Structure 1
Amino acid sequence: RVKDRLISLVRPRHEVLGVLALIDPAHTAGADQVFALEYGSTVLALELSHQRSLAEVELRLRRDLVDDLIAGTDDGSAHARADAIGHDLRRPHHVVVLRWAGDLAEDVVAEATGRAVTTLGLASLVSRHSGAVVLLVAGPLDGAALYASLSESLGAGGAIGIGSRCETPGRLPKSYTEAVRALEIRRTSQAPNGVTTFEQLGIYRILDTGQNHGDVVEFVREWLGKLLDYDTQRNAELVATLAQYLECGGSYDDTAAALTIHRSTLRYRLGRIREITELDLNDVDSRLNLHLATRVWQVLRGSP
């Protein structure tokens, strides 16, 4: 008894799953009422235990399905298994891989991820693989919104990689590999926290295969090293200016507008770039290599 109530714990085995209470302010409950309360607790314990077992089985089936999908399985079997757990695998999907810094357990990150996708209204399958949380998300995906939601519950120290869109289950293993690659590049960039999609990597997908990262960094230093050092020493923005100039195809008007600076300021910066690099920006080979280097530089600094 607790004040005006008789309380019975719903406890199959040794774990408390709930409480059943009989409100008895006049203290008139007798043996029959106590028996009914105890009987109800037993029935409720069996039902809750059964529901928990079903939930655990469904969770295991979902995780097993994700593991098999990113490893590769036939479309027919994948559709049948997804239908059995109520997930529509016939819609386009993205594979998302994420890791969070700190001492957070994988279960904590996985649970937070599940809550985040539910809040965002995303149909998804969640699992854990190779120390990371893996998501299969149906339909359009806003990576920034997902990161913001997770940062709110887990803190801002995490990274997310997103693979390209999959029209069929057979495409998911490739999307998973892409998501892992995007995640690794984000985590090793100068801004390791945030979201990177495989599409954002652009030419970097070809230049850096995962085995030659040092060669790629050396390539950037070869073409942009003097400008990077100048920017660091003078707190300037010559590399960013060069990158925008090349993205705009050498158009002064478009570049000045994109950087929100005057044409004379742009002309001065480009003059300094030519002096420091001793390169002709009109030379086809120089422009190509500088364009590649600035694209890779953007990826390495975490803003592809």
Structure 2
Amino acid sequence: MNIEEAQTVQTDLLKIIAEGAGVAGIVNILAKATELPVVVTNEFYKVLGSSHEDYPRNSFVRSCINGTEKNPGLCQIKLEQSIKLAYVFPSYIKNETLGFLYIFSDASDRMDIKDFGKIASLVLTVQLTKDKELLLTEKRYVDAFLFDLLYGNIESGEDILARGELWGWDLSRPQCVLVFELDDYDYFTEDKNLLEILIESVRFVMKEMGEKPILTKKKGEVIAILFKTKGSKHEQREYMKLVVDKIQSLAQQRIPARVLRLGIGRIYENPNEIFRSYQEAKVALELGKLMHSRLRTPFFEYLGLARILYNHDRQELAELYQETLGELERYDSAHNTELMKTLENFLSHRCDLKETAKTSYIHPNTLRYRLKKIQEILDLDFDDFDTKLNLMVAFKIKHLKVSDIDE
């Protein structure tokens, strides 16, 4: 590329910015000039503009291996079963990365592409800086409103509806809140970048399923206000489980080293009760952590007794557990038995002797002997309803992992 050609490309790119064509305009100019596929991403590799058929807008450029020994500007990008080559040009200002420009080519040493890329990355920096400033300004207003909404600081439902309309949100529709969180999140590390990937993953899945949720993030949380779209409660619940499963699957692909937690609040008709759904979602999330695999999709509405126990005094719960099951737990430890497991299995099968024996792979007489031993140790009668209720509550406390139990 000679100086005159370079100046022409630069002029065309600057015109695009002045005319407000944005990133998409920059991509079109470069794709025509190079006759190659061009992709622009943000700093988290989310596609902002693309002429590459395999990388539509809002998808992600993944598995990028930057550079080779001979050509540090060349990338290997894994796309399904194939590897694509692309020249990558970072766009940054004051050591802050704003995004990346990818020009796809199988040629390993194209000086003209490097020249195009160097010119375009400088112009792209101007555009991305402008976009980021506009986005941050709007985000400050949106975040302030959502903070007030999620913490119940707006009493008037009419005020909520009016302010929601400013951003095109119809908050008169029934809605619930979903909260997502990465385990062991630490804001002062690279985790804040992972949170960006998470919120983009939630947005991608929701959009794919035709949803237009309200999304925001706070500290280590990604918060989604999702509108009710199904007729019956059962249909809505199954649909939300499907949405959540898709989000968890995508997050596992994009952030494989971290565990994603979530909680779902109840659906409310009134917009000034959204804050209740948010608080419920956070409780469901915490209970999901405590109860692990027992709560694959923690809906606050279906937590039952666990949500009451969660808000109860921890010391009192620990004492109730010890008074009810402590003696049996100590017996198991001293005699290397599993009577605690036998009792829990018996209760979980509605005290059905035949079914419990079948699922435990033991003879009914063996089970009878063990149950008799348990009654002797705990000095209780399984025929008494209150006794069975107390035992079930004690096991629920055990699965809540109350910290004082071991003491």
Q: TM-score, normalised by structure 2?
A: 0.55
After TM superposition, give the deviation of residue 80 of structure 1 in Å.
Answer: 2.8
Which range is displaced more, 78-87 or 261-270?
261-270
Query: Which residue in 2 is equivalent to 1:23?
Result: 33
- Name stretches of at least 5 consecutive residues in structure 1 with no aligned partner: 26-37
Distance (whole Å) between structure 2 residues aligned to residue 24 and residue 105 of structure 1: 37
Query: Which residue in 2 is equivalent to 1:79?
Result: 161
Query: Which residue in 2 is equivalent to 1:114?
Result: 200
Which range is displaced more, 140-149 or 45-54?
45-54
Specify which of 167, 174, 186 is matched with residue 269 of structure 2. 167
With over 3 angstroms needed to count, the CA separation of the structure-2 counterparts of 1:99 and 1:263, relative to structure 1, is same
After superposition, give the CA deviation of every residue in 1:263-304 in whole Å (9 maximum; x if it has no partner): 445434423432443322123332221121123333439xxx
Distance (whole Å) between structure 1 residues aligned to residue 282 and residue 34 of structure 2: 59
Answer yes or no: is 1:135 the counterpart of 2:224: yes
Q: Which amino acid aligns with 2:163?
A: R
Conserved 8 A contact 1:106-1:132: no
Distance (whole Å) between structure 1 residues aligned to residue 224 and residue 359 of structure 2: 36
After TM superposition, give the deviation of residue 189 of structure 1 in Å.
Answer: 5.4
May I ask how many residue pairs the two structures share in their alignment?
Answer: 282
CA RMSD of aligned residues (A): 4.2
Query: Which residue in 2 is equivalent to 1:32?
Result: none
- Name stretches of at least 5 consecutive residues in structure 2 with no aligned partner: 36-118, 229-235, 403-407
Conserved 8 A contact 1:63-1:125: no
After TM superposition, give the deviation of residue 258 of structure 1 in Å.
Answer: 6.5
Q: Which amino acid aligns with 2:304?
A: G
Specify which of 369, 389, 394 is matched with residue 293 of structure 1. 394
Conserved 8 A contact 1:58-1:85: no
Answer yes or no: is 1:125 the counterpart of 2:214: yes
Which range is displaced more, 162-171 or 221-230?
221-230
With over 3 angstroms needed to count, the CA separation of the structure-2 counterparts of 1:45 and 1:177, relative to structure 1, is closer
Conserved 8 A contact 2:290-2:400: no
SS in 1 for 2:261: strand
Relative contact order, higher structure (CA 8 A, sep 6+): 1
Q: Which amino acid aligns with 2:147?
A: D
Distance (whole Å) between structure 1 residues aligned to residue 386 and residue 160 of structure 2: 48
Counterparts of residues 1-304 of structure 1 (less than 5 Å): 1=1, 6=6, 7-8=9-10, 10=13, 18=26, 20-21=29-30, 23=33, 55-72=135-152, 73=154, 74-100=156-182, 101-102=184-185, 103-106=189-192, 108-120=194-206, 121=209, 122-139=211-228, 140=236, 141-142=240-241, 143-154=244-255, 155-188=257-290, 196-209=298-311, 212-229=313-330, 238-253=339-354, 255=356, 263-264=364-365, 266-300=367-401
With over 3 angstroms needed to count, the CA separation of the structure-2 counterparts of 1:56 and 1:264, relative to structure 1, is farther
With over 3 angstroms needed to count, the CA separation of the structure-2 counterparts of 1:55 and 1:166, relative to structure 1, is same
